[in-house]
Amino acid sequence: MNRFLSRSQLRTRATQNAAAWFSPFSISRSVHSLPFATVDAEEISGSQPAEVLNFVQGKWKGASTWNTLVDPLNGEPFIKVAEVDEIEIQPFVESLSKCPKHGLHNPFKAPERYLLYGDISAKAAHMLSLPKVSDFFSRLIQRVAPKSYQQAFGEVYVTQKFLENFSGDQVRFLARSFGVPGNHIGQQSHGFRWPYGPVAIITPFNFPLEIPVLQLMGALYMGNKPILKVDSKVSIVMEQMMRLLHYCGLPVDDVDFINSDGKTMNKLLMEANPRMTLFTGSSRVAEKLVGDLKGRIKLEDAGFDWKILGPDVQEVDYVAWVCDQDAYACSGQKCSAQSILFMHENWSSSSLISKLKDLAQRRKLEDLTIGPVLTFTTEAMLEHKNKLLKIPGSKLLFGGEPLKNHSIPSVYGALKPTAIYVPLEEILKEGNYELVTREIFGPFQIVTEYKKDQLPLVLDALERMHAHLTAAVVSNDPIFLQNVIGNTVNGTTYAGLRARTTGAPQNHWFGPAGDPRGAGIGTPEAIKLVWSCHREIIYDFGPLPKKWEIPPST
């Protein structure tokens, strides 16, 4: 996530770009008063709780139930989310059902909306480039999904760049068609990108802004009408972003926004019958939805993401730093986080692990370079550690203890950055494989070593994994890279000395491979694949050949 630029460099660049590109758009009012926002990120507290609403049929709405969220840093109730229950879903069902299968726009219907979305994107990108606005979203993200300022700002920056990418004519270019000459005069086939119409987007807690905005805008660009549900723990961020998008011209009937529990959302999906649902989240929920929605779904689910260090040892400081970022930034709560490190034996004799340990130990709660884990308790992570340490030859490399001196509520986890060594031969054993490759969505990684003739065993371990999201092959040896890349499938794979598993910006396709249901996020290809289908129109005007006669039956 733009870890390679400092926050001030990023800000300076963003501001320069904005100034150069968008000077005619009025900025002064928004800089000083954030005309779209209804909360102040810094002031949300037990005594001044924020409220999160739903948006349906063009209006903000409450609900009969308020779900109170506790501040992940001190346990104080600080946000109230209006959660729609099962008897309140009707307006959402109606709203979605109003959208026909051919969508709100398509190449033959309301094409001016492609330009409209180019304009909305340009304005929203500009807003996010304003330091006051980007700071507002970065701080708001930090309040609900505690991560360092730079990591939170990275989300805002990726979102801004994505919106810039789809400014001007770029939305209509997404719907570019092609033609192929036919068999006779007057015949030509044309391929078009067609929307699905009513669609649903369900997104998780870990990227409260980046994932929902990129998917939501992609859905809209291609002509769909989405209902968006973000994990209630963090939905305040997207609630405020919806307000920003309305301020930038998003038509109020184009998107509905709902807060609810999973059961209610499931009922809504069954009744409203969206033509496509994009789900980003756990494999368990993903598999259930695949059945319920009869396969009309695309998934960006879990990843037990791996990194292999090849035989060529170089730039140990740099590689250790990337390993620390990949495994522990955002407290390991990225779907791209490094879950296992396969080290060639040449690296074992280097200072890599001791450097990695030093870097991991620099992380501190004060600046949120380590922080609360929102889906695993401390006990659950310690229990997992203890099970792993029962495997013969395994050992704790560092961490493995609860964080100290904090007020993180016990419903959440608080663990020091942890690495556990497990011998490769043990990982591969039937009884251990599942345990070792269980994804812990926290600051937790497995480290192992392979000897120079053991690469096939590593490849076997990778082949047996069930999710294939990100991967890194750290080597500048082309034969080694070829071998590993040619024998694996991960959708977003970084290759070369600087390879990483996390930090995909908007210009890298991000998504799993090896699964026909796999979704992507960020790039034009991802948008087209996820949010549109192919429609072929075959023009066949004639004229008929002179003296045509009815042929015999066939």
Chain contacts with ligand A1AUG (rule: CB under 6 A): 1, 207, 210-211, 300, 334-336, 502-504, 510, 521
Decide whether 71 or 300 has the Cβ nearer to ligand A1AUG. Answer: 300
Q: How far is the CB of 329 from ligand A1AUG (least distance, A)?
A: 9
Rounded to whole angstroms, what are the CA distances from 301 to 13, 138, 326, 380, 468? 33, 25, 18, 21, 9
For residues 331, 337, 338 and 339, what is the CA-based torsion angle, rounded to 10 degrees?
Answer: 80
Contact yes or no for 290/511 (Cβ under 8 A)? no
Q: Looking at beta carbons only, is 420 or 521 nearer to ligand A1AUG?
A: 521
Give 368 or 504: the residue with its C-beta nearer to ligand A1AUG: 504
Integer Cα distance of 13 and 153 in angstroms: 13
Q: Please, what's the b/e burial string for 97-122 (b: 16 or more CB within 10 A of its CB; e: otherwise)?
A: eebeeebbbbbeeeeebbebbbebbb
Quick one: which H or E segment has residue 530? Answer: helix 524-531
CB of 472 to ligand A1AUG, least distance (A): 12
Q: What is the 3-state composition of the chain as percent helix, strand, coil, each rounded to the nearest 5?
A: 40, 20, 40
CA distance 492 to 510: 6
Closest contact distance (angstroms) between CB of 554 and ligand A1AUG is 52
Shortest separation between residue 276's beta carbon and ligand A1AUG, angstroms: 17
CB of 334 to ligand A1AUG, least distance (A): 4
Does the CA dihedral 207-212-214-215 come out positive or negative?
A: positive
The residue among 125 and 335 lying less far from ligand A1AUG, judged by its C-beta, is 335
Residue number with CB closer to ligand A1AUG (55 or 205): 205
In Å, how far from its chain's centre is CA 520?
9
| Other CB atoms within 10 Å distance of the CB of residue 444 | 28
DSSP letter assigned to residue 330: G
- Residue 503 or 518 having the CB closest to ligand A1AUG: 503
Rounded-to-integer distance, Cα 513 and Cα 193, Å: 22
Would residue 335 show up in a list of annotated catalytic residues for this protein? yes
Instruction: Report residue 128 as tokens.
Output: 């996010």
Q: What is the 3-state secondary structure (H, E, C) of 353-397?
A: HHHHHHHHHHCCHHHCCCCCECCCCHHHHHHHHHHHHCCCCCEEE
- Select which of 99, 248, 323, 335 is catalytic: 335
* Identity of the residue, 83 or 301, whose beta carbon is nearer to ligand A1AUG in the bound complex: 301
- Cα–Cα distances in Å, from 318 out to 322, 360, 503? 6, 14, 15
Task: Write down the catalytic residue from 300, 330, 439, 449.
Answer: 300
**Catalytic residue positions?**
300, 335
